[in-house]
């Protein structure tokens, strides 16, 4: 069905179209000057030392696991309330994901207490996912990492420019990954970014991104190199300059877009924050965040009721989603036998409402009215 109010809208205009057109006309469309420009924008805006563009966030996460040295026999702790890529990247390098629970319905990020419970002599790292763009408890997590000598990967695909105590998400752990998928705050269709303050990790990431080649095509075409070596086993994780050009325009818009999203969230919090039988995760957050999505969790409820409430909202022309089906219940991960009661409750009772800068006050009120009525009527 077509929705009167979709879950997400694409923040594109003639600027993205012009950027793509100009790049095509330039004659250089593979990884080149636009990727270099985009990487420098990340360095400047995130105040990080190194940024390496990637074909998508999954590949960026794969690279994170590689440069952190995860491998066969290692265990890496990760939340289950996330998209499967956060766990898949651990398996890509032969390591085993160990699922940790979330704090609870009011803070749907990984629980530092459960991280400690899951540590064994084989544990080598933690993958942190900043759900909806809101920061996990990074002080506690980094203290755990230091105590047990663990690497920390930040899956920051929900949180471009989100902050935690004055630091940008993605700059706190050892390395981080961002997504430019079609429904993300920065959208190019496909694409991603790896960032780190570690020079060795950045150098490895650049090699891995392009087959382990010591120089890339653009460097050779520019006359800066005439030959190359294959220095390690690499992959083709490159992003083309057409998408990089689009990402540059998206990144220019991002600060203003996030400011408006914060106002949209405030309207939601004012309407739903004290609603009986519902909790808005991170309602007490005062940090600047991306507000990638708007999750709400039903209290004293179950999956069947949640699904009926979603159907009611859909019938009114409002699109919703679920973030996320728990990864540990997927067939490929069931054998690990994870027991995560908080994650199970939230994944059965969470509803994602529309969130984007173009939402009007009238639309937000209509969404909230419809949601409140659905919760009241469906028991």
Torsion on CA atoms 57, 59, 62, 64, rounded to nearest 10: -60
Q: What is the pLDDT of residues 56-112, one digit of tens each?
A: 999 999 999 999 999 999 999 999 999 999 999 999 999 999 999 999 999 999 999
Which domains does the chain show, CATH number per domain? 14-100+108-250 (3.40.640.10), 256-377 (3.90.1150.10)
Predicted pLDDT of residue 146:
98
Predicted pLDDT of residue 227:
76
Residue 252: how many CB atoms within 10 A of its CB? 13
**Residue 213 backbone dihedrals phi, psi, to 5 degrees:** -75, 135
* Model confidence at 215: pLDDT above 90: no
* Model confidence at 214: pLDDT above 90: no
* Model confidence at 223: pLDDT above 80: no
Task: Write b or e for each residue in 98-114: b if 16 or more Cβ atoms lie within 10 A of its Cβ, otherwise e.
Answer: bbbbbbbbebbbbbbeb
Instruction: Tell me which of 45-54, 136-145, 222-231, 317-326 is least confident.
Output: 222-231
Predicted pLDDT of residue 228:
85
For the chain, give the mean pLDDT.
96
% of the chain at pLDDT higher than 70 = 97
**223 compared with 110, residue with greater pLDDT:** 110
Please give the average per-residue pLDDT across 307-328, as a whole number: 98
Please give the average per-residue pLDDT across 228-253, as a whole number: 95
**Residue 316 backbone dihedrals phi, psi, to 5 degrees:** -85, 0
* Among 114, 165, 131, 31, CA closest to 340: 114
* Among 41, 284, 287, CA closest to 172: 287
Q: What is the pLDDT of residues 136-186, one digit of tens each?
A: 999 999 999 999 999 999 999 999 999 999 999 999 999 999 999 999 999
Task: Write b or e for each residue in 277-300: b if 16 or more Cβ atoms lie within 10 A of its Cβ, otherwise e.
Answer: ebbbbbeebeebbbbbbbbbbbee
Residues 6+ apart with CB under 8 A from 107: 281, 282
Q: What is the pLDDT of residues 295-305, one digit of tens each?
A: 999 999 999 99
* Model confidence at 222: pLDDT above 90: no
**pLDDT category of residue 2 using cuts at 50, 70 and 90:** confident
% of the chain at pLDDT higher than 90 = 93
Strands 294-298 and 278-279: antiparallel
pTM (predicted TM-score): 0.95
Q: What is the pLDDT of residues 187-201, one digit of tens each?
A: 999 999 999 999 999
**pLDDT category of residue 51 using cuts at 50, 70 and 90:** very high
């Amino acid at each position: 069905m077509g929705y009167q109010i979709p879950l997400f809208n694409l923040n594109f205009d003639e600027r993205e179209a012009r950027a793509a057109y100009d790049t095509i006309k330039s004659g250089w469309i593979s990884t080149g000057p636009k990727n270099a420009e985009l990487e420098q924008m990340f360095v400047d805006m995130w105040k990080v030392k190194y940024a390496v563009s990637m074909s998508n966030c999954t590949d960026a996460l794969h690279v994170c696991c590689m440069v952190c040295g995860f491998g066969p026999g290692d265990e890496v702790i990760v939340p289950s309330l996330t998209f499967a890529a956060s766990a898949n990247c651990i398996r890509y390098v032969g390591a085993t994901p160990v699922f940790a629970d979330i704090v609870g319905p009011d803070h749907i990020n990984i629980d530092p207490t459960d991280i400690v419970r899951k540590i064994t002599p084989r544990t080598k790292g933690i993958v942190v996912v900043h759900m909806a763009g809101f920061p996990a408890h990074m002080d506690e997590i980094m203290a755990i990492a230091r105590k047990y000598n663990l690497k920390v990967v930040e899956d920051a695909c929900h949180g471009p420019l989100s902050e935690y105590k004055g630091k940008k998400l993605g700059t706190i752990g050892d390395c981080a990954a961002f997504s430019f998928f079609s429904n993300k705050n920065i959208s190019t269709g496909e694409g991603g970014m790896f960032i780190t303050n570690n020079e060795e990790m950045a150098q490895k990431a650049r090699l891995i991104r392009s087959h382990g080649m010591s120089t890339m095509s653009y460097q050779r075409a520019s006359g800066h190199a005439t030959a190359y070596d294959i220095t390690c086993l690499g992959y083709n994780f490159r992003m083309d300059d057409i998408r990089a050009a689009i990402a540059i325009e998206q990144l220019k818009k991002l600060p203003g877009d996030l400011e408006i999203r914060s106002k949209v969230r405030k309207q939601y919090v004012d309407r739903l924050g004290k609603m009986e039988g519902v909790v808005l995760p991170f309602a007490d957050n005062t940090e600047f965040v991306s507000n990638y999505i708007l999750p709400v969790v039903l209290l004293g409820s179950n999956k069947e009721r949640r699904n009926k409430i979603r159907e009611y909202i859909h019938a009114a022309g409002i699109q919703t989603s679920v973030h996320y089906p728990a990864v540990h219940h997927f067939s490929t991960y069931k054998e690990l036998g994870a027991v995560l009661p908080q994650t199970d409750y939230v994944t059965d009772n969470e509803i994602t409402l529309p969130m984007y800068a173009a939402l009007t006050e009238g639309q937000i009120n209509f969404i909230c009215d419809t949601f409140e009525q659905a919760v009241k009527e469906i028991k």
